A and B are shown apart, each in its own frame.
Chain A
Amino acid sequence: MSTGVAIVGAAESDLGVTNRSILGLQAQAIGRSLADAGLTLRDVDGLATTGVSRFSATQLADHFGLQPRWTDSTYAGGSAFEMFVARATQAIQAGQAETVVISFASNQRSARSRSLGGVVEDHTPEAQFETPYGPLFPLSYYAMAAQRYLHTYGGTREALAEVAVAAREWALLNPAAFRHGTRSLTAEEVVGSTMISSPLTALDCCLVTDGGGAIVLTSSERARDLRKKPVEVLGYGERTTNTSMTAVPDLTVTGAVGSGADAFARAGVTPADIDVAQVYDSFTITVALTLEALGFCGRGEALDWIADGRIRPGGDFPLNTSGGGLSYCHPGQFGVMLLIEAVAQLRGEAGDRQVPGARLALAHGTGGILSTHATVVLGVES
């Protein structure tokens, strides 16, 4: 069931190695997404973004000469953008804003701003009780989740590598992907690449690239008069679970259980109804845990479920059709890119990687160390 709010514009900024500033990439993404919708900056009265500065939405509003009626800069890592869809939908329903832009951009590859240890804030408990031991952040937490998952359910490292192998196959079909024009991966190559934090290797980890994107939302009623086929917001849900590495008792069960259940209930659909899914693939293990949490398969079943090409091009569960954070781009917070690809698929604009007849899409963002989880269900009329 529609919320009465639709996505009417979507676009990427330049991706890869851009040598551009964050605001320059933001301007590309926002300008292109508004052009896609047939709108202009003067139509925008709501802004949601992160990663610009401490005052992210405020900074962006100033940069564009806007004085928005509504903003959101909730900092929740890669899942923030799926949360923004929920909040923007509510703001539009409530009449607080009419046209909302959700955007993100990072120049982390050009600026060499990514650190293996993450950003440590000395006043937090983690700085006293975790950082001194030297975990990679966030990688070592996902690595411990993977270790526990493979131990508990008896999966093999090669089976987990299928997430990266399938992502590469999709990226080979996407001209915008960082790994476009390279070649297929094998599970053996993933397992045999440089070990970073066992059992995860370099090829289990998302890319580090520049990039960004934006989407534009407005009421479904207004969307009917705009350029593109409206993509309706059908459902959303979120859970926030932890900042520390020790708060969650079972590393294999994530907050996506709750976020997914809420989103499906709100949309009035089930996992089996989804035609195409974009699930944050910060690491290969993230996808296995999230697919189970969202209910696409049972607990401990993900590696069997994705075997035999199910999530590759032509498979019966098209997943991360852009090539994902593993092979398309990963500007640090991938959540907005998941939404852009879902929109492309639902509009039938995805070129060689188009899923025929896709009507119902899911985007799921994950932030931090399996800290924040947000699910969005989108659809178009058939």
Chain B
Amino acid sequence: MIAPEVPPPDEITLPWWEATREHRLLVQTCAGCSGTQHPPRALCVHCGSDHLDWSTSAGAGVVDSFTVVHRAPRPELDVPYVIARVRLAEGVILLTRLEGQPQEEWSIDDPVRLTWVDLDDGRALPVFVPADVS
């Protein structure tokens, strides 16, 4: 994946993006109810608390669903590519890309592992590859 333009973080999402500079994937975690959520928010969607902490994901997940995009929404994107919902072991779902193997080999429920696409401004975007690829 070629590094895309990503809008700057706001006060809610800044810690999450800062951690990506060190290739750490944060999951927002509620100090009140231990619930997890993504993307980051100002309040816990489970209990309404604003006592929100961060935990670091181990980077393991499974493919909840995916789609191979054959027509690009922006001229700079080369098709085809694989868009997916990945469910992390920590419970949250991320929208992401699947990489590291031919598109026709992907299946729902495949185990995946975190890797990173570096952005020009030093931040990075989490993407996923097959769990058994080193």
User: Which B residues touch A245, using CB under 8 A?
Assistant: 85, 95
How near does chain A come to B17, taking the closest CB pair, in angstroms?
A: 8
Which residue from B1, B9, B38, B67 sits with its C-beta under 8 Å from A140?
B67
> How many Å lie between the Cα of A69 and that of B49 in the bound state?
40
Q: Is the CB of B108 within 8 A of A147?
A: yes
A122 contacts chain B at the CB level, 8 A cutoff: yes
Q: Smallest CB-CB separation from A142: which chain B residue?
A: B67
Q: Smallest CB-CB separation from B87: which chain A residue?
A: A249
> How many Å lie between the Cα of A21 and that of B19 in the bound state?
48
User: Which B residues touch A123, using CB under 8 A?
Assistant: 7, 10
Q: Smallest CB-CB separation from A150: which chain B residue?
A: B108
Q: Is the CB of A128 within 8 A of B39?
A: yes
B24 contacts chain A at the CB level, 8 A cutoff: no
Q: Smallest CB-CB separation from B12: which chain A residue?
A: A125
Q: Mark B73-117, 1 if CB is under 8 A from A, else 0.
A: 110010001011100000011111100000000011100000000
Q: Mark B49-66, 1 if CB is under 8 A from A, else 0.
A: 000000000000000111
Q: Is the CB of A115 within 8 A of B73?
A: yes
A135 contacts chain B at the CB level, 8 A cutoff: yes
A143 contacts chain B at the CB level, 8 A cutoff: yes
Q: Is the CB of A134 within 8 A of B4?
A: yes
> How many Å lie between the Cα of A311 and that of B130 in the bound state?
41
> How many Å lie between the Cα of A127 and that of B97 in the bound state?
15
Which residue from A116, A128, A148, A196 sits with its C-beta under 8 Å from B7?
A128
Q: Smallest CB-CB separation from A152: which chain B residue?
A: B108
A145 contacts chain B at the CB level, 8 A cutoff: yes
Q: Is the CB of B69 within 8 A of A246?
A: no
User: Which A residues touch B67, using CB under 8 A?
Assistant: 135, 140, 143-144, 147, 197-200
> How many Å lie between the Cα of A97 and that of B92 in the bound state?
46
How near does chain A come to B40, taking the closest CB pair, in angstroms?
A: 8
> How many Å lie between the Cα of A136 and that of B95 in the bound state?
12
A17 contacts chain B at the CB level, 8 A cutoff: no
User: Which A residues touch B64, using CB under 8 A?
Assistant: 144, 148, 251
Q: Smallest CB-CB separation from A249: which chain B residue?
A: B93
Q: Is the CB of B70 within 8 A of A198?
A: yes
Q: Is the CB of A198 within 8 A of B13?
A: no
Q: Mark A113-150, 1 if CB is under 8 A from B, else 0.
A: 00111100011010111101111110010011101100
B120 contacts chain A at the CB level, 8 A cutoff: no
> How many Å lie between the Cα of A151 and that of B38 in the bound state?
25
Q: Interface residue count for B (Cβ, 8 Å)?
A: 40
Which residue from B6, B10, B83, B125 sits with its C-beta under 8 Å from A135?
B83
> How many Å lie between the Cα of A132 and that of B97 in the bound state?
10
Q: Smallest CB-CB separation from A149: which chain B residue?
A: B65
User: Which A residues touch B96, using CB under 8 A?
Assistant: 133
Q: Smallest CB-CB separation from A136: which chain B residue?
A: B73
A244 contacts chain B at the CB level, 8 A cutoff: yes
Question: A137-B73, A147-B108, A245-B95 in contact; A132/B68 too (CB < 8 A)?
Answer: no
Q: Is the CB of B7 within 8 A of A133?
A: no
> How many Å lie between the Cα of A118 and that of B6 in the bound state?
16
Question: A117-B74, A144-B65, A147-B65 in contact; A132/B4 too (CB < 8 A)?
Answer: yes
User: Which A residues touch B5, using CB under 8 A?
Assistant: 132
Question: A140-B83, A246-B38 in contact; A197/B68 too (CB < 8 A)?
Answer: yes
Q: Mark A343-380, 1 if CB is under 8 A from B, else 0.
A: 00000000000000000000000000000000000000
How near does chain A come to B34, taking the closest CB pair, in angstroms?
A: 17
Q: Is the CB of A251 within 8 A of B65?
A: yes
Q: Is the CB of B66 within 8 A of A144?
A: yes
B71 contacts chain A at the CB level, 8 A cutoff: yes
Q: Is the CB of B97 within 8 A of A133?
A: yes
Q: Is the CB of A145 within 8 A of B83?
A: no
User: Which A residues touch B9, using CB under 8 A?
Assistant: 128
Residue among A135, A137, A200, A249 with the highest chain B CB neighbour number at 10 A = A135
B72 contacts chain A at the CB level, 8 A cutoff: yes
A1 contacts chain B at the CB level, 8 A cutoff: no
User: Which A residues touch B66, using CB under 8 A?
Assistant: 144, 147
29 CB-based A-B contacts, threshold 8 Å:
A118-B73, A123-B7, A129-B94, A130-B95, A133-B1, A133-B4, A134-B72, A134-B77, A134-B81, A134-B97, A136-B73, A143-B67, A144-B83, A144-B85, A145-B65, A147-B65, A148-B65, A148-B108, A195-B68, A195-B70, A196-B69, A196-B70, A197-B67, A197-B69, A197-B70, A198-B68, A244-B95, A246-B93, A246-B94
Given contacts A129-B13, A148-B108, A245-B95, 5 further A-B contacts (CB under 8 A): A115-B73, A118-B73, A128-B6, A134-B72, A144-B65
A residues adjacent to B (C-beta < 8 A): 115-118, 122-123, 125, 127-130, 132-137, 140, 143-145, 147-148, 151, 194-200, 244-246, 249, 251
Give the top 5 A-B pairs by smallest Cβ distance, nearest first.
A117-B73, A143-B67, A144-B65, A148-B65, A246-B93
